[in-house]
Amino acid sequence: MNDSKHTGETIAGVTVQMRFIPLNVDTEQEKKFSPWSTSNELITTIKTRVDDTKKSTPDNIMEFQIPTITRLTSEGETFIKNKVKLIDTIFTPKGWLEPADITKRLDKYASFMTNVATTDFAICQRSARIEFIERHGELDEPQKFKLRSEQNEFLEWLKQNDTLTRLGYLNKYDRDNDVTSALDQALEHYERAIMYHLGTKTWDDHREAFRLHKKYYCNHLTKPFGMKIAEFNDRMKEYGALLRHLPPPSSKNATRSFEARWEEVRVTDREIRAATYDALPKKYQDYINYSCKEDWHDMSDHDFLQAMMAHEFHDNTLYFKRSQQEKKRKREEAAKKSASLKNPDPVFNKRSKRPPTRTASESPKNHSTARVSKFCQYCKDNNRKYWTHNTEECYLKKPAKELNAIEALQKEFNEVKNMLKSLKKSKDSDSDSDE
């Protein structure tokens, strides 16, 4: 049991076995501590005929799946959910709700149990039969043993007028129709006794289970954010219906079913309505109180649901508009941030921006106004490219003497070159004449 605050709960530290919003369980971790865990690992397929008067043809077979219980310890939530599922899908449509149909119901309960759970369920039925045998008080040991061991023998024994009379269900002067009602009451109490002993195994604190869960349901629930109103309403009704199948409160020394306070196990439709209203956010409550003409206590289930859904639509519309505005604001902030990163100081960047790079043949259109980073006075005076280097870097700026010497050497080189060309021509002409 986790003592933290969970989804759908108003406070932390609530220790109940059955949560409004089921907890996510790590199956592998649970296996280490509970080898018999049933956390949706095993599934039982329940099959039944739609019409018992017809054959088991494919179109006359209905089937559904429910979790399998391999042990009864701490499996109260799974059991009552399976029980309610069977009641809604099989018992009610088939009319198996009468006391005389007890064996059919018990067989269906046993169908989704296996391993240790099957044995424990049989023990619960045996313990219930022992209660009736002890209340009778006039049986010998062979009779007691037979009635404890065999349920069919016990049910036949329970139908006898003498048995019903000694157990206090029938007066010897009652008429036949009273015998039928007495038997129905005895069978009802027998099934109740089975559920009592079953509850001692499936619930951690069966004496306080109902009180704690009802308190949790009425005082500590809230509509989870993001849960649809229709889903929330169904979940509240479902949870309230499950409370009716919890074990009854009993004193510390109670060991038998008739010692429990069964009359306290009740959850009315008005209590379910009140719990649903209290679990709504305040803005929902204000809307229902001030916008609806009819009081929420007196509304039909349909009108109450429509009132909640009307505010849900209004609330979702406002939330959508606010979310769109928030997205727009975030986009604008992101655009401003991106622009500032690209151009953090526009004034500085404008001043420090360099002029475009010119090719070797290009020259400034306006020498007087052009902004250049380099300047050579020597090349400017001699009509050369003066913007590619500075004056002190110019390789053409030479002393006059050095320049004249270079020109003289160049002239002498050209004369020697011409002389060699003329000698080569004369030699070629002599060789042609000899031939």
**Count of domains observed in the chain:** 3
Q: Are residues 184 and 250 in the same domain?
A: yes
CB 286 within 8 Å of CB 277: no
Instruction: Note whether 286 and 302 are same-domain residues.
Output: no
Residues 400 and 272 in one domain: no
**Residue at 9 is within a domain:** no
Q: Answer whether 305's CB lies under 8 Å from 233's CB.
A: yes
Tell me: do 387 and 306 sit in the same domain. no
Would 5 be classed as within a structural domain?
no
Strand partners, 3: none
Residue 15 located in a structural domain: no
* Among candidate residues 356, 369, 364, 370, the one with its CA nearest the CA of residue 385: 364
Indicate if 271 and 304 belong to the same structural domain: no
C-alpha distance from residue 109 to each of 87, 103, 155, 252, 301 (Å): 11, 10, 18, 28, 32
Closest C-alpha among 397, 396, 372, 375 to residue 386: 375
Domain co-membership, 79 together with 131: yes
Residues in the chain: 435
Per-10-residue mean pLDDT of the chain, 435 residues long, equals 73 90 58 40 89 88 94 95 96 95 96 96 97 90 93 95 91 73 95 97 95 96 93 96 96 92 95 96 92 92 93 76 79 81 59 51 48 76 82 68 63 80 72 53
Alpha carbon of 313 to those of 236, 239, 317, 320: distances in Å?
20, 25, 6, 11
Q: Which residues contact 422 (CB under 8 A, 6 or more apart)?
A: none
As to burial, measured by CB atoms within 10 angstroms (0-12 exposed, 13-18 middle, 19+ buried), residue 137 is: exposed
Q: What is the dihedral of CA 233, 237, 242, 244, to 10 degrees?
A: 150
Q: Does residue 54 sit within a domain?
A: yes
Q: Of 267, 291, 315, which residue sits at a domain end?
A: 291
| Same domain as 143, residue 94 | yes
C-alpha closest to that of 218 among 272, 265, 268, 282: 272
Q: What is the pLDDT at residue 380? A: 83
Residue 423 sits in which domain range? 374-430
Q: Is residue 326 part of a domain?
A: yes
- Whether 282 and 327 map to the same domain: the answer is no
Query: Could you tell me which of 68, 80, 66 has the C-alpha nearest to residue 17?
Result: 80
Q: Please indicate, yes or no, if residue 59 is contained in any of the structural domains.
A: yes
Last residue of a domain, one of 266, 291, 316: 291
165, with CB counted inside 10 A (0-12, 13-18, 19+), is middle
In a domain, 418, yes or no: yes
Q: Compute the distance between CA of residue 248 and CA of residue 54 in angstroms, rounded to an integer.
A: 40
pTM: 0.69
Looking at the domain assignment, is residue 84 inside a domain? Answer: yes
Same-domain status, 95 and 111: yes
Let me know: does 260 contact 196? Beta carbons within 8 Å. Answer: yes
Question: Tokens at residue 130, please?
Answer: 């022992």
Q: Residue 224 and residue 233: Cα distance in Å, rounded?
A: 12
Do residues 286 and 316 both lie within one domain? no
Q: What is the CA radius of gyration of the chain?
A: 49
State whether 250 and 151 are in the same domain.
Answer: yes
Q: Are residues 81 and 122 in the same domain?
A: yes
Pull the structure tokens for residue 18.
Answer: 């059955």
Strand ranges for 302-390 from DSSP E: none
